[in-house]
Structures are given as C-alpha cells and as structure tokens.
Amino acid sequence: MHLYIHIPFCKQACHYCDFHFSTHTANKRAVVEAIAREIELRKAYLPDGDMETIYFGGGTPSMLDEAELHLLLGTIHKHFRVAPDAEISLEANPDDLDAASLQMFFKAGINRLSIGIQSFHEPHLRFMNRAHSALQAGQCVKLAQKAGIDNISIDLIYAIPSENHNVLLADLSQAFTLGVPHISAYCLTIEPQTAFGSWLKKKKIKPIEEEYAAQQFEILVKSLGDHGYEQYEISNFARDRRYSRHNSSYWKQHPYLGVGPSAHSYDGTSREYNVSNNAKYLEAIQQERIPATTEMLTSADQTNEYLLTGLRTIWGVEMQKLHVLSNGAFALEQQQELEKMTRKGWIREESGILLLTDAGKLFADRIASDLFID
C-alpha cells in the first residue's frame, strides 16, 4: 500500500511551476488538520495490508512544523499498519533545511529526503525564482547526511537557457561530489499558467529549443551513467538500485491513496482527483465530505497509462499485460506501428517485454502516444 500526502504551501512561486500550492499560509494548520481528518475518512480506500511507502509531496512539505508532522504521522500510524522497513519520504527545499529541522524530520521517522535543488548556479536559481541560494543548495545535503539521513534524492532542472553546456556540467559535477544515491533530472518546460508561460506569450523569453534540450539530456544521461547512476526511469537515476520505491509503485500501476488538496488516488480501476483549492478543500473536509471527482478508467485508458508510464522505465511493458488490459485490442491495432518503431531503432522486444532503446528514450512520450489505442 502506498500513501501520498500533498502539502499545498510554498514560500514563493517558482516561475516554472504549475503544481497546486498557495503562498498564503495563514490557514496552514487548519489544512494540515483537515488532511489528517481525510486520512481517517478514507482509511478503507486501499485494501488491507502494510503501508510500504509514505510520500510527503507538494508544495513544500519541509514547511511543516514539528506538531504538524507529528499529527500527520500519528494519524497514519493509528489507522494503518506501517511496514517496519517503510520508505517515508519528504520533499524539502534547501532554505528549510538546517541542523534543527533535519533532526526533527529524522526523529519523526522520515528516512528519505527529496531535495529541490534544481541548480547550484546562482543566476539560474534567480531566473527560476527559487527561494534558496546556491550556497544553501550545496550545504543542505551535507547537513542532511550529518543528521543521519543518507537516502537522499536531489532534483535538478536542465535545458535552462544558457550560452553553452558548462553550467549543466558544473551542476552535475557538484551533485557527484555530494555522493547522493538518487538524482531526478527534469527538462525545463514552459507551462501556460506560470510566470514563464505569461512571459513567453509577451515574448519576454524565448521557447526552449528542442535541439538544445536534447543535447542537454544526452550530456546528462552520459555523465550520470559514467558516475554509476542507472537510468531506471527517463528522469530518474539511482546508484546501487536505490530507486524511489514510492514513485516506482506509480509506474508499476500499484494502487495508492492521495490526500490533501489536488492529490490523486488510484484503486486499479478508477482515479479520484481532490479539488485543487485550499479553501474549498477545507470547507468540504470540515463538513466530512471528500472533495474529489472520480473518473472510471476504460480498458483503453488503462492500456494507454501503462504504456505511458511503463515505457519510461527499465521494467518496460509486458505484451501479455497490454493484451489483457486492452481486451486483445493492443496486438491487433498496433503491430504495424511497433514494427515501424523497431526498424527506426527506438524500441525492442525482449522475452515478451517492450523496452525503449537509448535512441527511443529521447522520444519516450511520443512513442507511447503513437502506440495508444482508442
């Protein structure tokens, strides 16, 4: 069983971000209490079993104070059986991490940190409106390791406009010196409902060039590979198989419960989407209502989701599972498309499992969507 908790608050809005969060924190305690109540109200959503992973995402979960974190973890332990070796992750921003907060997270039971570093280069941090400095980015990882949390992932953003690839190389080099077991690297994308989206519309910034992004991706993959990081998902790299167990469960289509404003849940046949509005969420939970809409997944939805997430991973997608999910439609409709992609050298089949080649990884989402069924 897997649990996601969305903490919908941030200190400031990063210019690229289209996640749900608010910078108005006056009702933070009330929202956290509502999330704890939602956990109680929805405890029967998942089948019986041990909770294997718990993930505090956001927003900025490292803005939780000790009482708030204890309330949430206490509620989880009261209503679920948490496995002794459960992975309990918390997303954190460098500006929230000091010796005291790290001790607090460690003592509360957080055993994995996902730190939003994004870059070690001050001008890039300012360009993206990150709340932390380059100095804090480097220091916080060492502080976390000192506090006893060694299972650390750092997020990096690539394809930030730059004259050459030197900044990316310097970012990677600094990441390697920190010796973290996991790195997530995401391409800068410009979403319409963000500051960058509005600047692009007003022509204050240029779009990210596809060729530049592809070059940066290739540098990144090569460099991480040379330093012992396995690309187990297109954007995720781990040493010594220290994969994110929580995110891997999404990619393997395992059921999960998501609580908090904007969180999603999945039970194998349907998805539920919580309202992306803190005030509406609070009001509903205070009335003992779950503010979620439900979408029943058709056979085509389940097949296409499996393709979209599975093809991005080293586990690939099983032909037999595609056949079952699609009620036999996949093999009939897609055989020609598969043959075309195999000839292009983008995809290969090994013992009934479809896998992307290195060349195919550059077009992962396009390949998946070309294989979608109706």
Stretch 113-152 residues interacting with ligand SF4 (CB under 6 A): 116
Q: Which is nearer to ligand SF4, 119 or 304 (CB)?
A: 119
Residue 19 in the binding site for ligand SF4 (CB under 6 A): yes
In a 13 Å sphere around the CA of 58, the CA atoms on its Cβ side amount to 30
Q: Which is nearer to ligand SF4, 14 or 224 (CB)?
A: 14
Q: Which is nearer to ligand SF4, 10 or 275 (CB)?
A: 10
Give least dist CB 145 to ligand SF4, A: 22
Number of residues that bind ligand SF4 (CB under 6 A): 11
Give least dist CB 60 to ligand SF4, A: 5
Stretch 296-325 residues interacting with ligand SF4 (CB under 6 A): none
Calculate the CA dihedral of residues 76, 82, 85, 86 and round it to 10 degrees: -50
Stretch that binds ligand SF4, among 8-16, 133-141, 252-260, 290-298 (CB under 6 A): 8-16
Residue 85 to residues 7, 108, 238: CA-CA distances in angstroms? 24, 15, 19
Contact mark string toward ligand SF4, 42..81, x via CB under 6 A? ----------------xxx---------------------
Pick from 1, 5, 10, 338 the residue near ligand SF4 by CB under 6 A: 10
CB atoms within 10 A of CB 69: 22
Stretch that binds ligand SF4, among 10-18, 145-153, 306-314, 340-348 (CB under 6 A): 10-18
Pick from 13, 214, 219, 319 the residue near ligand SF4 by CB under 6 A: 13
Pick from 53, 93, 236, 265 the residue near ligand SF4 by CB under 6 A: 93
Pairwise CA distance, residues 54 & 81, whole Å: 12
Q: Which is nearer to ligand SF4, 95 or 305 (CB)?
A: 95
Is residue 1 within 8 A of residue 268, CB to CB? The reply is: no
Q: Which is nearer to ligand SF4, 156 or 307 (CB)?
A: 156
Pairwise CA distance, residues 31 & 217, whole Å: 38
Give least dist CB 41 to ligand SF4, A: 25
Pick from 2, 3, 21, 95 the residue near ligand SF4 by CB under 6 A: 21
Q: Which is nearer to ligand SF4, 58 or 261 (CB)?
A: 58
Give least dist CB 261 to ligand SF4, A: 12
Give least dist CB 58 to ligand SF4, A: 5
Interface with ligand SF4 by CB under 6 A: which residues?
10, 13-14, 17, 19, 21, 58-60, 93, 116
